[in-house]
Amino acid sequence: MTSGRVRMRLVAPPPAGTDAGVLVHPAGSARVEPPPRRTTRADRQRLLLVGDGALDVRRRPDRTVVGHVGNRVADPVVVDLRRGAERLATLGTVDDTLEIARTTGAGTVVLSAADLGPARTAELVHALSRDGRHVEVVTGVHGVGSHRLRAGRSQSGAVLAVAPVGRYTWREPVKRATDVALASLLLILCAPLLGLAALAVRLADGPGVLFRQIRVGRDGQTFTVLKLRTMVCDAEQQLDGLMRHNEAAGPMFKMRDDPRVTKVGRILRGTSVDELPQLVNVLRGDMSLVGPRPALPREVAQWDDRLRERLRVRPGITGPWQVHGRFTASLDDYERLDVGYVDNWTLLGDLRLLVLTVPAVLGGDGAA
């Protein structure tokens, strides 16, 4: 955070290539507004965020956020605490939005309807679009996939229609058939690797190659999850003494340098080879290849009603939590990612998560 207060005053010259000037009239003079300049593809990748709710706009490497517009000029910097997010300079108030967009060359302006209100949002949409700028409006509705959204209109304005959450359609038996086919194939292909990993655990850490643990699955039914053992045999008994070192929020326990993890176990976890026995859980019907991770009963006991929505589907070997880095995400991210998956899942989305799991595992981002 900056140590002092900084105020910025933006002076907007006429955009290049325009003929803005002054008309002389007996009654006085009036400034002629320049005609809207056609935004280029490069301009569209420059974003101006208006309102704090606009900070939630999805970041993309091909788009640059040039600044933030808020209601309080006295706050010069917006500190976005999300992982990897930048510090954004507050360039002025909402009244200055059009001038700031011109000065910064922002071809796209993202408006937070929750912060601006309906009337001001509509006013800015018209003013910015007439000026040749693209406008995106953040509605404040979270956790709804784009495939469930449809734009419409009514006499009072634009309408965003949201399709209901899909349940028990033809996609579910197709997902189950895909799980069985792929899990069987992966078990055959990974059998040599699984055998070598099991042998390494046996030679380095003694008997007890498989780790079995009760987890909560679909509809709250418990089952025994299978993993290669990566911790010492009395790991569960040592947990209470390590709780003060917990680095995760809420009911989860995560510790980056967990002393219970063995040397071989650290390698298996870093490559996610320890998860391979869960392919058997998939064949049994306890789990799916893709879905929220199966939680412990003590964790589920502390969930609120919103988080319990995870239990509507089979838990998965991989999912949004693994792909987006399960160690570094917060509890809010945990809920947003997993409940969002349950509400919006599609077969194509599952395929995408399976593909993204490979670089996540190879890069170590999905390892815990």
Give 273-305 pLDDT, tens digit per residue.
999 999 999 999 999 999 998 999 988 998 888
Q: Does domain 36-140 have CATH number 1.10.155?
A: no
- Please, are residues 232 and 205 in contact by the beta-carbon 8 Å criterion? yes
Could you list the beta-strand ranges (E) of 303-366. Answer: 316-318
Q: What is the pLDDT of residue 13?
A: 41
Residue 84 has pLDDT above 90, yes or no: no
Highest mean pLDDT among 28-37, 161-170, 213-222 belongs to 213-222
CATH 3.40.50 residue ranges for the chain: 36-140
Enumerate residues 6+ apart whose C-beta is below 8 A from 240.
Answer: none
Highest mean pLDDT among 138-142, 212-216, 249-253, 318-322 belongs to 212-216
Residue 366 has pLDDT above 90, yes or no: no
Highest mean pLDDT among 1-10, 82-91, 141-150, 335-344 belongs to 335-344
Length of the chain in terms of residues written:
368
Q: For residues 149 and 168, give the distance between their C-alpha atoms in angstroms, rounded to a whole number.
A: 20
Q: Which residue has the higher pLDDT, 84 or 362?
A: 362
For the residues of 100-122, what is the DSSP string, one character each? HHHHHT-SEEEEEHHHH-HHHHH
Handedness of CA 243, 248, 254, 258 (dihedral sign): negative
pLDDT in tens, 11-25: 344 444 444 333 333
Q: What is the pLDDT of residue 19?
A: 41
Q: Work out the average pLDDT over 56-70.
A: 77
Residue 38 has pLDDT above 70, yes or no: no
